[in-house]
Structure formats: structure tokens, C-alpha cells
Amino acid sequence: MAAHYDSYDYPSYWEDRSYEHGCEVIAIKAFLAKIPKIKNILEIGAGFGRLTPSYLFRAKKIFLSDPSNKHLAIARKSFPNQNIEFLHSSLENLPNQVRAGSIDLAIMVRVLHHIADINLAFKIINKLLSKNGYFILEFANKGNFKSTVQQFFKGNLVYPMELETLDKRTLRNIKKGTLPFLNFHPDYIASALKENGFTILEKRSVSNIRGAFLKKLFPTEFLLSVSKLVQRPLAYLNFGPSIFILATKKD
């Protein structure tokens, strides 16, 4: 069955986004430094393997799953000699392909915004994780600084406290039948994780300096060095458009 991303050139999307990619790698590596020795890693929605090099060294066995066979084929060519198993699967079907309790670390980046039932997603991931397993999650932040300021000038002073999920398809007048594009309030995600058996260990605000002007003015390496310093403190303000969370499965 064809996936939505089969018709999309996702590798080209990242060609001019070295800053955003670098920020995500910084967050993942910072989380990995806090995780003890592990054997198995599962990346959900791995696409063409963009983030795989950032964690490949940490486990003996890597599972890359994605509903797009097209992008998994690219990943296979990129990592031909690695100890990686490629799973052509949706998140919902993963329990049929991965043994429950067998994964030490699950990674899901730039996927949650396409998932309508996040509680089901978190339940599935919890089931796949081993005892005290870890979960690195990224989600689109509804309450980011730019959106909050925009809403303030529109007169919506309570916007930072509105927990309702925002589907950006409604703002862009996109027809029905397309993938959801959901932005979540960080408190809503935190509550859903807790309800589905997770404890949050750390949170990071990512891609905080996305302005085109700044990206042209300063070298990417400089922006990344600044981002490395501010990801943790800005997380307390839910500043950036992307939030990364390190959680662990409750014992």
C-alpha cells in the first residue's frame, strides 16, 4: 500500500535545512549521553535515515521503521553494511513486527504531528519498550514564542494556556484526506505521556533561531553553537517551534 510520503521528495526538503538538522542531532546526542548501555534502538518514522548516524554507534541492533517503502529504500542504500533491520510498517502495525518489551530506546522525530491518536501511539511505544526503556520524542510546539506573540497582538491573551491541539490544515485551507498536521501544547503532551506510563527526564527547545535573516547573517556552525547552549533553558519557556523530550518507561 502506498504511503503519503511516497510521492514526496523528503531528502530534497532537508537540503537547505542544515541548521534544523544540526539542532536535532544536538538534542539527540545530549539525550544519548544520559542513557546507560543499551542493545536495541527503534526509530519510528525513520524516513531515509537522516538521523540514523547520530545514534548508530549506541546499539548493537537498529530497527528503522517507516510506512514509505520509497524512503526506506534510500536508507538501505545509505547503510548497506550496518546491523540494521528495515521495517516497512506504520506505527499501528509495529506490534506485529517487533516483539513486546524488546526495545531499549525508541526514537520518534517529526512524526507525532501526523498522528491523530497520540494516546494510542504512546501505548504502542510503551508496550514495545523494555523495562525502564527510553523514549526520545519530538513534537511541533503550538505554544512557541512566535505563535504566542502573534496571538497576543490578535488579542488572545490566554493562548499560552489553551491546551487544545491545533491542526494547521485548518489555517491553510487544506482539503480533507491529507495527513493531519498537528501542533501540540507541551503540557498536553506531558500529561499524555504520564497517562500512558512514561516519566519525563528532560526537555529541550529546538530550532530556536529559524529566522531566514539570521541564517543568512551568521554561519550555521555559529548558530548551532548558540543553540547547543540555549536548548535546555529555553525549554522552560517552551520557546522553539520544536520540542524534544527524553522520557523513560515507568517501572
- Any idea what DSSP says for residue 115? -
Q: What is residue 172's predicted lDDT score, i.e. its pLDDT?
A: 60
Distances in Å between the alpha carbon of 1 and those of 61, 73, 94, 97? 27, 15, 16, 17
The pTM (predicted TM-score) of the whole model is: 0.95
CATH at residue 20: 3.40.50.150
Residue 50 lies in domain: 4-249
Query: Would you state the pLDDT for residue 176?
Result: 60
Computed on alpha carbons and rounded to an integer, the radius of gyration of the chain in Å comes to 18
pLDDT along the chain (251 residues), means of 10: 78 95 98 96 98 96 97 95 94 97 98 96 98 97 95 95 89 66 97 98 95 89 97 97 97 74
Number of domains in the chain: 1
pLDDT at 1: 45
- Element of type H or E holding 188: helix 186-195
Q: What is the DSSP letter of 184?
A: B
User: What's residue 251's pLDDT?
Assistant: 74
Helix then strand count (H, E) for the chain reads 9, 9
Say which residues have a Cβ less than 8 Å from residue 64's Cβ, sequence separation at least 6: 43, 46, 49, 52, 72, 75, 84, 85, 86, 87
Helix (H, G, I), strand (E, B) or coil at 131: strand
Q: Output the pLDDT for position 2.
A: 53
Q: Tally the C-alpha atoms within 13 A of residue 240's C-alpha that lie toward its C-beta.
A: 26
What is the spatial distance between Cα 60 and Cα 39, in angstroms, rounded to a whole number?
A: 5
